Chain A
Amino acid sequence: MTGPATIFDRPNTYIGKPEPRADAARLLQGRGRYVDDLNLPRMVHAAFVRSPHAHARIRAIDVTEARAAPGVLAVYTGADIAAEVTPYVGTLTHMAGLRSAPQYPLAVDVARWQGEPLVMVVARSRAQAEDACDLIDADLEELEAVCDQETALSPDSPLIHEEFGSNLAWERLVEAGDVDTAFAAPGVTVVERTFRFGRHTGVTLESRGTVCDYDPSENQLTMYYSGQAPHMMQVILSKHLGLPEEDVRVISNDVGGSFGIKIHTYGDEIAAAVAARMLRRPVKFIADRMESFMTDIHARDHVVTARIGVTAEGNIVGIDMDDLTGIGPFSMYPRTSAIECNQVLNLTGAPYALQNYRARGRVVFQNKMLMCQYRAVGHPIAMAVADGLLEEAGRAIGMDPVALRKKNLMADDSYPRQSASGMKLDDLSHQKAITKLTEIMDYDALRTDQAEARKRGVYRGIGLVSMVEVTNPSPMFYGIGGAPIASQDGATARLDAGGALHVASSITEQGQGTNAILAQIAAGVFGVPIDRVRVTTGDTRNVPYGGGTWASRGAGIGGEAMLQAAHALRDQVLEVAGTLLQTTPEALDIRDGNVVDAGTGAERMTLADLARTVYYRGNELPSDTKPELIATRHYRVTDFPFVFTNGAMAAHVEVDIETGFVKVLHFWAVEDCGRVINPMLVDEQVRGGVVQGIGGALYEECLYSPEGQLLNTTMADYIVPMAAEMPDITVAHIETPSKTSVLGAKGAGEAGTGGAPAAILNAVNDALSPLGASLWQMPMTPQRVLTALSEG
């Protein structure tokens, strides 16, 4: 796409500069506004009784005593809430064959996971609500639970939804070329491994929560929302509570981390909205940490059996894989729980020039918390399978993993092209990325060090990954399937009477620096110092319509809309300036808050002068001049379903073979996310993402008993990465701008989480290989490492 050539070399441009975030000042002084900080007049508090069983029939619930408890205003059972909402079903028409059952905010007849809400208590304080929860007697008949996805499809498994006749939610087969023939060819070595990816979860430091307020005089429901997609939430509340969309307002102020956790439909949050309407006053619900572990969506939970075929010269002839993933008892609404498996099928091997590819995915129901989209949806699985097999194949044929990658990665000049799975790819730089990676990590020196260390009985490993990341999704992701999720975003730029620029955008901020990059783009493109820009996001009543921030789309899609709006406003302002200064708009420019002579840069008038003339002294303008000092533009990705980025990463680890502990010594990431708007923010996205990926690879797992009891529901039992164990992370960039927009930015938020697990897996196996051991299960806990060593 071509655009105004002047955008990136303007004197005021902030694009490409490590501008600090304006929001930081507020947050560093303790002046953030997170949901739990809100305290509205007459506000009351909700707490929930939750199912203690993974699967149970509700015989009776006695709430008499709770109703009479001190401070209690209302007690609602599943049936009470169900009478106020329509049920939701997590299916999309483009995910052919996907099925899920209708779901209500609270369980009505049967509870299907431990933690599913059964009863809601609303009281004057949270403590009183919790006290009353203890007085509720739920008579439950425990049913046999389906927990293990590997037996969920067997004919003698109990069924979670009788009407479906099996626990299968969705199935897909992708086939390209002929894997069987390719693998049977002479000289082809076939390596097969079974990978297990445990369940983990987001552990946002701010737990989920909402304050919902209802004003009957205007039939107005306001949800203060700790989440990523306000307009999506507006539609969901409108649809299921039966309110006109315009009477639902969703406001998202500061959000204490999200990572995909806070983009789904949670029954307790919907119930808070229902209760607010019934009680006609604000209701606050804030999940405690135990509720977060039990009821925030979980992620991953895949068992993948996969094969790779490689010739003696190191040509990969194909990949064949079978992914089985457990998603809990329902497909999550409205994004569905089949998207992750779909991504695994789409992305495995996508960096490589593969001719033959076969991937089967099956998505099954089970009595555990729902599994759904979390940061880097499907990527950690796809990258670990392909690159895990690649490095194992390298060991089998005696070829260095870097050489093997270089031989098989798509050539940088070969785009546009498709992956074996049919993904349209463009503007990627795998070869440059792996070359740069090996330079910054000094690959050869590390190999020398590794050999030395082994002589001393120290087992270090080096593991790499070459990866793609799905960013900037088009309507083909959700909208096409009927989801109320916008793929386009809008931005508005308005000049105020003092010469400052006010911008509003439908993308949202959860700490990535959304507001900062909007200001950077707007200031530079329009022509004011960045401290004269004010940004509004996260309010369905005050921003243009759009999707929000997820799938690494904020900068690429929302940023482009901002660029276009700022550019349009610039043209409009120059039009007025031309009239006032009796010259042509082309002879003028806006720089540093002033209208200047385009050629000499000499100041002609300040923006404040111009704005005041327009707003206060319109009499000075010719009557046929109708100045517009506000501009709005929208942008969506066309021609491509997604804009892919690529990267290459490496981990250096040391495995203590006595204790099984894995120490990550250093990590390197080379990322090509197109045009970098703010290198500091991008680097920090990559680092934060890598650390989340390391968490999934080494520590984090939601552990269930065979009966479906979640065993680790405190932060002391569920291990997350803390500062002492984390390495420093070196980040480098290649910039291949996307041709789909003027800005050329692709997403950067998820690559680290998508790639790091594969690099860690490969590094651990590289360290274990001289001992004849290997490990294909995440997290790679000390116990699993020791078991692998004893079996090795």
Chain B
Amino acid sequence: MTRDARITLTVNGEEISAVVAVRTNLVDFLRHDVGLTGSHVGCEHGVCGACTLELNGKAVRGCLTLAVQADGGTVTTVEGLADSGRSDALRAAFTRRNALQCGFCTPGMLASALSYIERGGSDDRQAIRDHISGNYCRCTGYQSVVDAISDVIREGDGA
């Protein structure tokens, strides 16, 4: 039936060692075993993007990644992005633009947006829309999210 494995990984700068069932996915592990409930689960089949988080510097779907795949790796969640200050500009822009309503998509949206901004994405609205097209939001209609991301890119350019 279920097998267990020991994993050791760094989560938001803290080393964590745990025994997990090998079938446990990364987002469930973070939410239920580590207690970091900021990452959300919307579909568990890789479509909605609510579980998007950072593994080894890349944005990944936490529901499509097994916890054992993160063994030895470095994970940053929405909580870590806030604590380290990396999401400061984005959070300010999301607040100013009201780019969140219920907030359930927000952690994944921030992770996707940050990966776009940090690798030098342009402020072209359609390019932003294309990039966040893996993140479902039922509430906002997306325009305010696009506005917020584009604000951060422009501010970063000194505009």
A is bound by B: yes
Is the beta-carbon distance between B48 and A21 smaller than 8 angstroms? no
User: Is A5 engaged at the interface, CB distance under 8 Å to the other chain?
Assistant: no
Would you list which residues of chain B between 20 and 64 have a CB under 8 Å from chain A?
21, 23, 31-32, 35-45, 47-48, 50
Q: Which of B67-75, B95-103, B151-159 contacts A (4 or more CB under 8 A)?
A: B95-103
Q: Bits for A341-367, please: 1 = Cβ < 8 Å to B, else 0.
A: 000000000000000000000000000
What A residues does B129 contact at CB under 8 A? 723-724, 726
What A residues does B39 contact at CB under 8 A? 30
A23 to B135, CA, bound (A): 21
Q: Identify which of B31, B102, B143 contacts A687 (C-beta below 8 A).
A: B143
User: Is B115 engaged at the interface, CB distance under 8 Å to the other chain?
Assistant: no
- Chain A contact residues: helix, strand, loop or mixed: loop
What A residues does B107 contact at CB under 8 A? 30
What B residues does A36 contact at CB under 8 A? 31, 37, 41
What A residues does B40 contact at CB under 8 A? 34, 205-206, 256
B70, chain A: closest CB distance, angstroms:
18
User: Is A151 engaged at the interface, CB distance under 8 Å to the other chain?
Assistant: no
Q: Identify which of B91, B104, B128 contacts A206 (C-beta below 8 A).
A: B104
A578 to B128, CA, bound (A): 58
A19 to B69, CA, bound (A): 43
A28 to B109, CA, bound (A): 10
A256 to B126, CA, bound (A): 27
User: Is A32 engaged at the interface, CB distance under 8 Å to the other chain?
Assistant: yes
User: Is A20 engaged at the interface, CB distance under 8 Å to the other chain?
Assistant: yes
What B residues does A24 contact at CB under 8 A? 91, 94-95, 98, 100, 103
Is the beta-carbon distance between A256 and B43 smaller than 8 angstroms? no
Would you list which residues of chain A between 476 and 520 have a CB under 8 Å from chain B?
510-513
A692 — nearest CB in chain B belongs to which residue? B138
Q: Identify which of A28, A37, A680 contacts B110 (C-beta below 8 A).
A: A28
User: Is B133 engaged at the interface, CB distance under 8 Å to the other chain?
Assistant: yes
Would you list which residues of chain A between 667 and 693 have a CB under 8 Å from chain B?
680-681, 684, 687-692
A729 to B42, CA, bound (A): 26
Q: Bits for A237-266, please: 1 = Cβ < 8 Å to B, else 0.
A: 000000000000000001111110000000
Q: Bits for A456-483, please: 1 = Cβ < 8 Å to B, else 0.
A: 0000000000000000000000000000
Is the beta-carbon distance between B43 and A289 smaller than 8 angstroms? yes
Is the beta-carbon distance between B98 and A510 smaller than 8 angstroms? no
Q: Identify which of A39, A70, A203 contacts B138 (C-beta below 8 A).
A: A203
Which residue, of A25, A29, A691, A723, has the highest number of chain B Cβ atoms within 10 A? A723
User: Is B9 engaged at the interface, CB distance under 8 Å to the other chain?
Assistant: no
Q: Bits for B125-156, please: 1 = Cβ < 8 Å to A, else 0.
A: 11011101111111111111110000000000
Which residue, of B1, B23, B103, has the highest number of chain A Cβ atoms within 10 A? B103
Q: Bits for A32-45, please: 1 = Cβ < 8 Å to B, else 0.
A: 10101101000000
User: Is A715 engaged at the interface, CB distance under 8 Å to the other chain?
Assistant: yes
User: Is A720 engaged at the interface, CB distance under 8 Å to the other chain?
Assistant: yes
Is the beta-carbon distance between B139 and A511 smaller than 8 angstroms? yes
Q: A24-B100, A29-B91, A206-B40 are in contact. Are A687 and B140 (CB under 8 A)?
A: yes
Is the beta-carbon distance between A28 and B125 smaller than 8 angstroms? no
Q: A36-B41, A257-B138 are in contact. Are A205 and B105 (CB under 8 A)?
A: yes
B111, chain A: closest CB distance, angstroms:
10
Is the beta-carbon distance between A30 and B23 smaller than 8 angstroms? no
Which residue, of B1, B36, B42, B96, has the highest number of chain A Cβ atoms within 10 A? B42
Is the beta-carbon distance between B138 and A204 smaller than 8 angstroms? yes
Is the beta-carbon distance between B105 and A288 smaller than 8 angstroms? no
A20 to B144, CA, bound (A): 13
User: Is B82 engaged at the interface, CB distance under 8 Å to the other chain?
Assistant: yes
What A residues does B100 contact at CB under 8 A? 24, 27-28, 511
Would you list which residues of chain A between 513 and 536 have a CB under 8 Å from chain B?
513
Q: Bits for A280-317, please: 1 = Cβ < 8 Å to B, else 0.
A: 00000000110000000000000000000000000000
Per the CB 8 Å criterion, the residue count for chain B at the interface is 59
Q: Bits for B76-110, please: 1 = Cβ < 8 Å to A, else 0.
A: 01110010000100010011101011111111001
B37, chain A: closest CB distance, angstroms:
4
A259 to B95, CA, bound (A): 22
User: Is A716 engaged at the interface, CB distance under 8 Å to the other chain?
Assistant: yes
User: Is A59 engaged at the interface, CB distance under 8 Å to the other chain?
Assistant: no
What B residues does A728 contact at CB under 8 A? 125, 143
Is the beta-carbon distance between A684 and B101 smaller than 8 angstroms? yes
Is the beta-carbon distance between B21 and A127 smaller than 8 angstroms? yes
What A residues does B91 contact at CB under 8 A? 24-25, 28-29
Is the beta-carbon distance between A684 and B98 smaller than 8 angstroms? yes
What A residues does B146 contact at CB under 8 A? 723
Is the beta-carbon distance between A714 and B37 smaller than 8 angstroms? no
Q: A205-B105, A288-B44 are in contact. Are A30 and B78 (CB under 8 A)?
A: yes
Is the beta-carbon distance between B138 and A30 smaller than 8 angstroms? no
Which residue, of A204, A255, A722, has the highest number of chain B Cβ atoms within 10 A? A722
Q: A688-B101, A716-B47, A724-B133 are in contact. Are A28 and B87 (CB under 8 A)?
A: yes
What A residues does B103 contact at CB under 8 A? 23-24, 27-28, 32, 254, 256, 511
Q: Identify which of B50, B82, B110 contacts A205 (C-beta below 8 A).
A: B50
What B residues does A39 contact at CB under 8 A? 32, 35
A154, chain B: closest CB distance, angstroms:
38
Q: A21-B98, A24-B94, A720-B136 are in contact. Are A715 and B45 (CB under 8 A)?
A: yes
A289, chain B: closest CB distance, angstroms:
4
A694 — nearest CB in chain B belongs to which residue? B141
Q: Identify which of B44, B47, B102 contacts A256 (C-beta below 8 A).
A: B102
User: Is A31 engaged at the interface, CB distance under 8 Å to the other chain?
Assistant: yes
- Residues of B at the A interface (CB closer than 8 Å) are 1-2, 21, 23, 31-32, 35-45, 47-48, 50, 77-79, 82, 87, 91, 94-96, 98, 100-107, 110, 125-126, 128-130, 132-146
The 10 closest A-B pairs by CB, nearest first: A30-B38, A27-B103, A256-B104, A511-B102, A511-B101, A30-B78, A691-B141, A37-B37, A687-B141, A715-B47
- Residues of A at the B interface (CB closer than 8 Å) are 20-21, 23-25, 27-32, 34, 36-37, 39, 70, 127, 131, 202-207, 254-259, 288-289, 510-513, 680-681, 684, 687-692, 714-716, 720-724, 726, 728-729
In the complex, given contacts A31-B79, A256-B103, A687-B144, what are 7 additional A-B residue pairs having Cβ atoms less than 8 angstroms apart? A28-B103, A32-B38, A203-B136, A205-B48, A511-B101, A691-B140, A721-B141
**Listed A/B pairs (30) with beta-carbon separation below 8 Å:** A24-B98, A24-B100, A27-B103, A28-B78, A30-B37, A30-B78, A31-B38, A36-B37, A37-B31, A70-B1, A127-B2, A204-B104, A205-B42, A259-B138, A288-B44, A513-B101, A684-B144, A688-B141, A690-B141, A692-B141, A715-B47, A715-B48, A716-B45, A720-B136, A722-B133, A723-B137, A726-B129, A726-B143, A728-B125, A729-B143
